[in-house]
Structure 1
């Protein structure tokens, strides 16, 4: 913190006043009447005030003579060069630098952990992620996707009841619901999180982290839309492999469906149309799962 000149003067003045006060106290003790007072009380008070005035004046003079602690400002290039050379020539302290780097890394790790904790709390509040107790109770080994996976192309502009109905059917066939983008843009994930919760909650009026969610994966993948030429929704494609792989990790040559079915109809009707177009083998497993329940 920079110390200004007025601060130095004030400090000197306070010290001078303090010294004068102590001296006056001693004089008052020596001059106190022990029987026959030489001066009246009024005269003693005036003497004290005169001494105090002289002490204050002396303190102000001393403060005025105090040197200015601020460094002089200069535009001389030589002075600047010498200053920077002095900074570059300072003694290196590897131990302090290592401690500073360690403290920075620890702070960054702590910040990342706090962000993840807050994100998890937000997902639980929206019902997108079960509470820890619920997650442990329902923990089960993941089953790798085999064959063709039903991918239903949808949009956030579709009615919520329609999206919820498709989620019920896709859960039976282990299907995936795909969106081209995020409502409000990629910088705003809140609307997409809310939409996901509205679609996947088993009970539409349930609120909070303990809501039961349907086992349906929702993806945001503009590449898969472009690969299959999706210009209207809903649409169904049977994609080989794992369509939930992040689109930033895939390219335009990734596996794609042989056919695409368009139309706002039940999933069973879309599967039948896909089989009629020549994809009977691709939809056989999904149709069996849909009928079995």
Structure 2
């Protein structure tokens, strides 16, 4: 059979057209896949936005509070058993445990340092630095075994000028000022520290840690109040031994004064009244100290 040139040209043209069609199909396929991917991403974004809108709407319905997350609860013994078995099979990590212990120790140390810093700032604001507190403790009246110490019973409700005047007189007589309790309760020592500073500062207008303090011991002792039946203040008693001993280290049978003098008068007058009641020997040393200066 004779093949003509036109037939050959037509066959070649058809082959070229087929190749072009296949190439266009291949180029169109990635575009189609890409468009499908873009459409899927857009759908997922829209779903997320819808969930967010629904959550905001629920929050508004509940007054702006989102419900607390709840862990799934199960009463199935098999589930609980699997959970505990998983905990037992946990691979120990000494490095992580060591880091956790170190972080805990560091946190406790930082907390202790912060507490000490705040306490120091409070003492500085009130003029009661540790060095001054130790000096006050060392300046407590030296009491002989058979001596008597004047103890003035007072209250935080008394006027500050009156307490300051008594502190000046007790400093000369080597006496002690006693309170039944702490203003604001034992859990709040700040008010008592402030009251102590107001009473003992030589200069009432002085502020800060450099203020000069009187050489007088202040104690908080509800037992000594109960022992002597103190129901009103000021009151004076001559206590044998060391009245500054912590009341938690004493009992109701500890030594007590033979007499108690009540009345808002000068310390010298109260000592005279104590001597008149029969305590002349007890007050002789304190009276000599008052007259010596």
Of 49, 55, 59, the match for 2:37: 55
Other-structure match for 1:256: 256
Other-structure match for 2:143: 145
Other-structure match for 2:236: 236
Q: d(CA) in 2 for partners of 1:216 and 1:222?
A: 19
Contact 2:124–2:209 at 8 Å: present in 1 too? yes
- In the alignment, structure 1 segments of 5+ residues that lack a partner are 1-45, 64-70
Q: d(CA) in 1 for partners of 2:38 and 2:72?
A: 30
Contact 1:228–1:260 at 8 Å: present in 2 too? yes
Q: CA deviation at 1:82?
A: 2.0
Aligned length: 238
Contact 2:136–2:215 at 8 Å: present in 1 too? no
Deviations 1:13-55 (CA, angstroms, capped at 9, x unpaired): xxxxxxxxxxxxxxxxxxxxxxxxxxxxxxxxx9998664222
Other-structure match for 2:115: 115
Q: CA deviation at 1:149?
A: 1.8
3-state SS, counterpart of residue 177 of structure 1: strand
Other-structure match for 2:273: 273
Q: CA deviation at 1:111?
A: 2.2
3-state SS, counterpart of residue 56 of structure 1: helix
Contact 2:143–2:241 at 8 Å: present in 1 too? yes
Q: d(CA) in 2 for partners of 1:60 and 1:123?
A: 65
Q: How does 1:6-21 map to 2 (within 5 A)?
A: none
Structure 1 runs of 4+ aligned residues shifted over 3 Å read 46-52, 57-63, 71-75, 88-107, 138-145
Other-structure match for 1:176: 176
Shifted more, 161-170 versus 197-206: the winner is 197-206
Contact 2:275–2:281 at 8 Å: present in 1 too? yes
3-state SS, counterpart of residue 242 of structure 1: coil
Q: CA deviation at 1:129?
A: 3.0
Q: How does 1:65-76 map to 2 (within 5 A)?
A: 74-76=74-76
Q: d(CA) in 2 for partners of 1:95 and 1:254?
A: 58
3-state SS, counterpart of residue 279 of structure 2: helix
Pair 55,92 (structure 1): closer, same or farther in 2 beyond 3 Å = closer
Contact 2:156–2:183 at 8 Å: present in 1 too? yes
Contact 1:148–1:239 at 8 Å: present in 2 too? yes
3-state SS, counterpart of residue 108 of structure 2: helix
Q: d(CA) in 1 for partners of 2:83 and 2:244?
A: 59
Pair 140,168 (structure 1): closer, same or farther in 2 beyond 3 Å = closer
Q: d(CA) in 2 for partners of 1:135 and 1:179?
A: 18
- In the alignment, structure 2 segments of 5+ residues that lack a partner are 1-27, 46-70
Other-structure match for 2:104: 104
Q: d(CA) in 1 for partners of 2:176 and 2:278?
A: 21
- CA RMSD across the alignment: 3.5
The structure that has the greater radius of gyration is 2
Contact 1:128–1:213 at 8 Å: present in 2 too? no
Other-structure match for 2:289: 289
Contact 2:238–2:257 at 8 Å: present in 1 too? yes
Q: CA deviation at 1:81?
A: 1.9
Q: CA deviation at 1:89?
A: 4.7
Other-structure match for 2:54: none
Q: d(CA) in 2 for partners of 1:240 and 1:98?
A: 57
Pair 203,107 (structure 1): closer, same or farther in 2 beyond 3 Å = same
**Structure 1 length as normaliser, TM-score?**
0.68
Pair 256,127 (structure 1): closer, same or farther in 2 beyond 3 Å = same
